[in-house]
């Protein structure tokens, strides 16, 4: 499948706009663990994920992290091109969580098309609304949900993404996803283990009881 | 001043679009304390504040609140018309914090113009990016800042908005702004009083030392 199939408003572009994008588009392959975009650096451009997995997160001055959302196949990343809108006044970091293939549209090219095309501007609006909704969901989790429920949700999400109950993940990594501390996560996971929900081993968390994790998450 | 002076992209509308908005626009005056928009109800429309003050907040199942942002003169409220974009998947409540005059543009009228007009779509994008940035700022405060700093920031913001150091505000209200509990806020304010930062009396918090509150907020 080529770029046209991945970009939802391709058919609403005129010939000149299609040419502009085709000529400036670049394909890139990144290894798992690569930092693709770093808030303090320049405008990377719009990222369209062909295959793989990206994680968008914020970072505190002390190096604490919290995951805002993930991007999968066919997802478009807007915040890596935050310079296209002057009102985006925050910085995120984006890393490849798996080996990832992506296309990059230069920010100034996208911006010039968005300025003149209502369909592209409205598509961009929907993208932003989607990420805004992700962050609002996260805010509600942080504000109203206790950490045991958030850890349960995270483990369930991971087993679903990875398609296995054996998660190769450290307590540190879980803490970074949830904006917590390693020690706190370790204590919670040990409690889950005592309750028979998971089994812990070196750099691995095995989910034993999905049903009860789901019940805990909803309670 | 009339509506045209308040709506930034008025001059980029064509004659038909201007007529459509003028004919459907309604003016409204609301008393302090009025709930103007409630997430679970229908799409209220876009609100343009002529004068006054609105507060946008989220509400938990248990009735806890946290303020997302405030709107002042000339601000436009998008989330009261969340039906214009299917990707807005969260609900907010909007109340008048002061007696407020506003205009309401019906959501379906605005949506139809946004669909065909690149300037209106891009203006909407900037609005959404502004609110998204407000929420990201709040998220960073909640995640990385301790409550004493957040209470200090809130008191400083209030003295600035109200133009006085004598704030007529209850501990309950402060808790609702910050997503905290009354008891926690009371304890914090008593600590501030012992430190000579504020003076507490019935339904009133008097800020005594702005300089030190500023230092605390930044530390």
The interface predicted TM-score (ipTM) is 0.90
Mean predicted lDDT score pLDDT of chain B: 94
Q: How far apart are CA A97 and CA A33, in angstroms?
A: 6
Phi, psi (degrees; rounded to nearest 5) at A70: -115, 155
Answer yes or no: is pLDDT of B75 > 70.
yes
Provide, as residue numbers in chain B, all residues whose Cβ is less than 8 Å from the Cβ of A60: 140, 143-144
Q: Do A125 and B121 touch (CB under 8 A)?
A: yes
Q: What is the pLDDT of residue B41?
A: 64
Provide, as residue numbers in chain A, all residues whose Cβ is less than 8 Å from the Cβ of B128: 125, 128-129, 132
Q: Do B64 and A125 touch (CB under 8 A)?
A: no
Q: How far apart are CA B196 and CA B112, in angstroms?
A: 56
Least trusted range by pLDDT, from A190-199, B37-46, B63-72: B37-46
Domains of chain B listed by start with CATH number:
3-143 (2.60.120.10), 145-218 (1.10.10.10)
Listing from the earlier edge strand, what are the strands of the sheet with A46-51? A26-30, A100-105, A46-51, A76-77
CA dihedral B110, B112, B115, B120 (to 10 degrees): -30
Provide, as residue numbers in chain B, all residues whose Cβ is less than 8 Å from the Cβ of A179: 143
Answer yes or no: is pLDDT of B1 > 90.
no
What distances in angstroms separate CA B32 from CA B39, B52, B95, B182, one per listed residue? 19, 9, 8, 22
Phi, psi (degrees; rounded to nearest 5) at A201: -145, 180
Answer yes or no: is pLDDT of B40 > 70.
no
Least trusted range by pLDDT, from A31-40, A108-117, B51-60, B70-79: A31-40
Q: Do A128 and B133 touch (CB under 8 A)?
A: no
Q: Closest to A85 (Cβ–Cβ): which among B115, B125, B179?
A: B125
Q: Closest to B87 (Cβ–Cβ): which among A86, A130, A139?
A: A130
On whether the CB atoms of residues A167 and A159 are closer than 8 A, the answer is yes
**A60 near B CB under 8 A:** yes
- The stretch B127-141 carries a mean pLDDT of 95
Q: Closest to A124 (Cβ–Cβ): which among B58, B125, B139?
A: B125
Q: What is the pLDDT of residue A6?
A: 92
Q: Do A66 and B129 touch (CB under 8 A)?
A: no
Q: Do A115 and B118 touch (CB under 8 A)?
A: yes
pLDDT digits (tens, 9 = 90+) for B195-217: 999 999 988 999 999 999 999 99
Instruction: State chain A's maximal CA–CA distance in angstroms.
Output: 63
The ranges of chain A with pLDDT < 50 are none
Q: What is the pLDDT of residue A132?
A: 97
Chain B residue nearest residue A64, CA to CA: B144
């Amino acid at each position: 499948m080529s770029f046209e199939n991945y970009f939802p408003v391709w058919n609403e572009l005129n010939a000149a706009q299609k040419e502009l994008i085709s000529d400036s588009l670049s394909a890139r392959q990144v290894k798992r663990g690569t930092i693709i975009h770093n808030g303090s650096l320049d405008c990377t451009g719009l990222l369209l994920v062909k295959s793989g997995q990206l994680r968008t997160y914020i970072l505190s001055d002390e190096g604490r992290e919290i995951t805002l959302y993930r991007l999968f196949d066919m997802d478009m990343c807007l915040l890596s091109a935050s310079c296209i809108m002057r009102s985006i006044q925050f910085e995120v970091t984006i890393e490849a969580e798996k080996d990832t293939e992506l296309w990059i549209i230069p920010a100034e090219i996208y911006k010039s098309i968005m300025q003149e095309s209502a369909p592209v501007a409205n598509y961009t609006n929907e993208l932003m609304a989607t990420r805004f909704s992700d962050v609002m969901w996260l805010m509600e989790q942080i504000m109203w949900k206790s950490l045991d429920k958030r850890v349960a949700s995270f483990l369930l999400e991971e087993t679903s993404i990875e398609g296995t109950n054996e998660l190769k993940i450290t307590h540190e990594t879980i803490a970074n996803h949830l904006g917590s501390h390693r020690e706190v996560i370790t204590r919670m996971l040990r409690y889950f283990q005592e309750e028979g929900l998971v089994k812990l081993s070196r750099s691995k968390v095995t989910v034993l009881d999905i049903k009860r994790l789901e019940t805990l998450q909803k309670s």
